[in-house]
C-alpha cells in the first residue's frame, strides 16, 4: 500500500497557484485558494500539512489568524512574495510564519522548504517517527507562544504602561486619593478622559468639575482607575473604518450597557461592584479585534449569520476556527489586564468554565444576557441568550429574582448613553460613531 502524500494548501492568484500545483505534482496532494477567507474554509475541510501563502493576497493576515486559532495553529506556513522587503520579513516572522520564499523560485527550493516545515511541525507537535514526546516545559512554552500571538497583529496598538501603575495605586492600602490624582495628572490624555466621564450625567455633579482631586475624593479610587481603563480601551479600539460588518455604535452601546447592568447586578448581589463594571465593559473586545484587523474574514462571519440566523460565537468558530472570547482573552494577556478581567472575557458565555473569579464571571454573564434581552445595543447577531440555569442556581435565584434584576438593569441603563457620549467625545469624526 502506497504511503499517503502530505497535503499542501496554496493561497495565491490563480495563475501562480496552478503553476505551483504543477511543481508539486507527484510528491504532494495540493489544493488551492485565491484569498484568505477561502483558505480558512479549505483549512476546515482538508486540514493540510502545510500552507503556502502569497503575501500580496493577504498571506501575513492569514498567518496571524491561523496562529491565534487552536484548531489551526499547528499548521506551518511558508510565505511567498514577488516584492519582499525588510518590513514584510519582520511582519511574517512576528506572525509565526515558518519560512519566507522570494519569487521566482525553483521547484526544488519550494519542495525543500515544505519538507523542512513538515519535519519541524512533526517535532513540535510530538509526532516524530522516533515517538519522542514533547516535554511539559515545551508544552507550556507553546501555550505561552499561542497567547502571545495577538500581540503581533500588524497595527494593533500597545496599551499604556502607566495604566498598570494607576490600577496598582487604586488597589493599594497605602495609597491615597491624592497619590492617584497625581499619577493620572502626569498624563494629560488620562486627565482629560477622566474629567469628561466624571462630568457625564451618570455621576450627577451639580457643577462640572475641572479638579481631578475633587473627583477622586467623591468617587471610589478603583472606580476612577476603571474610568481610565475604559477610556483607554475605547480610544485604542473604538474608532476605525472599513470593518467586516460590526455596527460600532451598537457594539459600544451594548458594551457600556453591559457594564452598567453588571455594576447594578453586583450591587444587588453584594459582590465586586467596580470589577463587574469593567468586566462588562471589556467582555466582547475580541469582536472589535476581529472586525478591525480581519475585516474580510469577519465579513464572512456576518454573511453566514444573515443566512443561518445563528449566534455569532458559533459562526466565528465555524468560519474562523476561533471565537471572540479566545481572541479577547489573548488581547487581555497582551495588554496585561488582571486575571479577573481575562476570565470575564474568556468565560462570559460559559461561566461554568471559570474555576477562578466565578462570582464575577457569572455577574458579567447575567449582565450580558439582560442587556441583549433589553435590546440595548447589539452584540452582532439577533440571538437573545438566556441566563444559564446553573448561574441562577449559584445565586439561589428564581424567576422573581430575575425580574428584580431586570428592573434594576432598566433603571441603570438610563444614564448609560450619557456615559457613552462622554466616552466617545473625541471620536466624533468617525462616520459610524458620529451619532452617539
| Confidence grade of residue 2 (pLDDT, cut at 50, 70, 90) | low
Residue 57 pLDDT grade (very low, low, confident, very high; cuts 50, 70, 90): very high
Architecture category of domain 238-436 in CATH: Orthogonal Bundle (1.10)
315 in Cβ contact with 304 (< 8 Å): yes
* Range 406-422 average pLDDT: 87
What mean pLDDT is predicted for residues 269-279?
91
Comparing CA positions, the residue from 266, 294, 292 lying closest to residue 281 is 266
pLDDT tens digits for range 229-241? 888 898 888 878 8
Q: What percent of the chain has pLDDT over 90?
A: 52
Distance CA 317, CA 330 (A): 16
pLDDT number for residue 301: 93
- Please name every residue paired with 77 in a beta bridge, in sequence order, or none if there are none: 51
Please, which pLDDT band fits residue 429 given cuts at 50, 70 and 90? Answer: very low
Flag whether pLDDT at 130 surpasses 50: no
Identify the band that residue 172 occupies on the pLDDT scale cut at 50, 70 and 90. confident
Task: Provide the pLDDT for residue 205.
Answer: 66
Q: Which residue has the cell 435590546?
A: 375
Quick: pLDDT tens for 356-389: 899 999 999 999 999 999 999 999 999 899 999 9
| pLDDT attached to residue 124 | 67
Query: Residue 66 to residues 60, 63, 137, 389: CA-CA distances in angstroms?
Result: 10, 5, 23, 35
- Residue 351: what pLDDT? 95
Tell me the pLDDT tens digit for each residue of 210-233.
777 777 777 778 888 888 888 889
pLDDT for 158 equals 86
CA distance 337 to 357: 14
Fold classification of 7-152 (topology level): Rossmann fold (3.40.50)
> What contacts 370, CB < 8 A, 6 or more positions away?
261, 265, 387, 405, 406, 409
> Which has more pLDDT, 185 or 370?
370
SS (H, E, C) the chain: CCCCCCEEEEECCHHHHHHHHHHHCCCCEEEEECCHHHHHHHHHHHCCCEEEEEHHHCHHHHHHHHHHCCCCCCCCEEEEECCCCHHHHHHHHHCCCCEEEECCCCHHHHHHHHHHHHHHHHHHCCCCCCCCCCCHHHHHHHHHHHHHHHHHCCCCCCCCCHHHHHHHHHHCCCCCHHHHHHHHHCCHHHHHHHHHHHCCCCCCCCCCCCCHHHHHHHCCHHHHHHHHHHHHHHHHHCCCCCCCCCCHHHHHHHHHHHHHHHHHHHHHHCCCHHHHHHHHHHCCHHHHHHHHHCHHHHHHHHHHHHHHCCCHHHHHHHHHCCCHHHHHHHHHHHCCCCHHHHHHHHHCCCHHHCCCCHHHHHHHHHHHHHHHHCCCCCCCCCCCCCCCHHHHHHCCCCHHHHHHHHHHHHHHHCCHHHHHHHHCHHHCCCCCCCCC
Summarize the confidence of residues 409-423 as an average pLDDT.
Answer: 85
Q: What percent of the chain has pLDDT over 70?
A: 89
**Structural domain boundaries of the chain?**
7-152, 156-236, 238-436
Q: Is the pLDDT of residue 415 over 90?
A: no
- The mean pLDDT value of the chain amounts to 86
pLDDT value of position 436: 43
Which range is least confidently modeled, 73-77, 307-311, 362-366? 307-311
Which pLDDT band, with edges at 50, 70 and 90, does 277 fall under? Answer: very high
Alpha carbon distance 342, 355 (integer Å)? 12
Do β-strands 99-102 and 77-81 pair in parallel, antiparallel, or remain unpaired? parallel
Query: What pLDDT was estimated at residue 398?
Result: 93
- Least confident stretch, 15-24, 136-145, 303-312, 392-401: 136-145
Q: What is the pLDDT of residues 9-44, one digit of tens each?
A: 999 999 999 999 999 999 999 999 999 999 999 998
pLDDT digits (tens, 9 = 90+) for 91-121: 998 888 989 999 999 999 999 999 999 998 8
Q: Which pLDDT score, from 0 to 100, does residue 255 have?
A: 96
Q: Residues 254, 416: contact at Cβ < 8 Å?
A: no
Residue 327: per-residue pLDDT? 94
Q: Over 80: is that where the pLDDT of 203 sits?
A: no
What pLDDT is attached to residue 410? 92
278 contacts 225 by C-beta, under 8 angstroms: no
pLDDT at 428: 45
In tens, the pLDDT along 313-339 reads: 999 998 898 999 999 999 998 888 889
Amino acid at each position: 500500500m502506497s504511503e499517503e502524500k502530505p497535503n499542501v494548501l496554496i493561497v495565491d492568484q490563480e495563475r501562480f497557484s496552478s503553476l505551483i500545483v504543477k511543481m508539486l505534482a507527484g510528491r504532494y496532494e495540493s489544493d488551492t485558494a485565491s484569498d484568505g477567507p477561502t483558505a480558512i474554509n479549505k483549512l476546515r475541510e482538508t486540514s493540510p500539512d502545510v500552507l503556502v501563502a502569497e503575501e500580496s493576497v493577504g498571506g501575513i493576515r492569514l498567518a496571524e489568524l491561523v496562529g491565534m486559532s487552536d484548531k489551526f495553529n499547528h499548521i506551518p506556513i511558508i510565505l511567498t512574495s514577488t516584492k519582499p522587503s525588510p518590513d514584510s520579513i519582520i511582519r511574517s516572522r512576528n506572525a509565526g510564519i515558518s519560512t519566507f520564499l522570494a519569487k521566482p523560485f525553483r521547484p526544488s527550493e519550494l519542495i525543500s522548504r515544505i519538507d523542512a516545515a513538515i519535519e519541524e511541525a512533526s517535532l513540535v507537535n510530538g509526532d516524530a517517527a522516533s515517538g519522542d514526546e514533547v516535554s511539559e516545559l515545551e508544552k507550556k512554552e507553546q501555550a505561552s507562544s499561542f497567547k502571545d500571538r495577538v500581540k503581533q497583529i500588524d497595527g494593533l496598538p500597545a496599551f499604556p504602561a502607566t495604566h498598570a501603575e494607576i490600577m496598582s495605586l487604586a488597589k493599594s492600602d497605602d495609597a491615597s486619593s491624592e497619590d492617584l490624582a497625581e499619577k493620572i495628572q502626569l498624563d494629560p490624555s488620562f486627565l482629560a478622559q477622566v474629567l469628561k466621564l466624571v462630568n457625564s450625567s451618570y455621576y450627577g455633579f451639580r457643577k462640572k468639575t475641572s479638579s481631578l482631586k475633587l473627583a477622586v475624593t467623591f468617587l471610589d479610587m478603583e472606580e476612577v482607575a476603571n474610568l481610565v481603563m475604559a477610556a483607554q480601551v475605547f480610544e485604542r479600539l473604538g474608532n476605525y473604518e472599513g470593518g467586516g460588518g460590526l455596527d460600532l455604535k451598537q457594539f459600544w452601546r451594548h458594551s457600556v450597557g453591559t457594564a452598567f447592568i453588571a455594576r447594578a447586578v453586583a450591587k444587588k448581589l453584594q459582590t465586586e461592584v467596580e470589577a463587574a463594571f469593567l468586566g462588562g465593559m471589556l467582555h466582547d473586545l475580541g469582536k472589535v479585534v476581529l472586525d478591525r484587523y480581519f475585516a474580510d474574514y469577519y465579513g464572512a462571519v456576518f454573511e453566514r449569520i444573515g443566512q443561518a440566523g445563528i449566534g455569532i460565537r458559533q459562526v466565528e468558530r465555524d468560519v474562523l476556527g476561533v471565537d471572540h472570547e479566545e481572541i479577547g482573552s489573548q488581547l487581555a494577556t497582551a495588554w496585561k489586564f488582571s486575571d479577573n478581567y481575562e476570565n470575564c472575557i474568556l468565560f462570559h458565555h460559559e461561566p461554568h468554565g471559570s474555576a477562578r473569579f466565578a462570582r464575577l464571571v457569572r455577574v458579567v454573564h447575567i449582565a450580558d444576557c439582560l442587556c441583549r434581552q433589553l435590546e440595548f445595543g447589539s452584540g452582532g447577531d439577533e440571538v437573545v441568550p438566556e441566563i444559564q440555569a446553573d448561574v441562577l442556581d449559584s445565586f439561589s435565584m428564581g424567576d422573581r429574582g430575575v425580574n428584580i434584576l431586570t428592573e434594576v438593569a432598566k433603571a441603570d441603563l438610563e444614564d448609560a448613553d450619557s456615559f457613552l457620549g462622554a466616552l466617545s467625545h473625541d471620536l466624533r469624526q468617525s462616520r459610524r460613531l458620529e451619532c452617539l
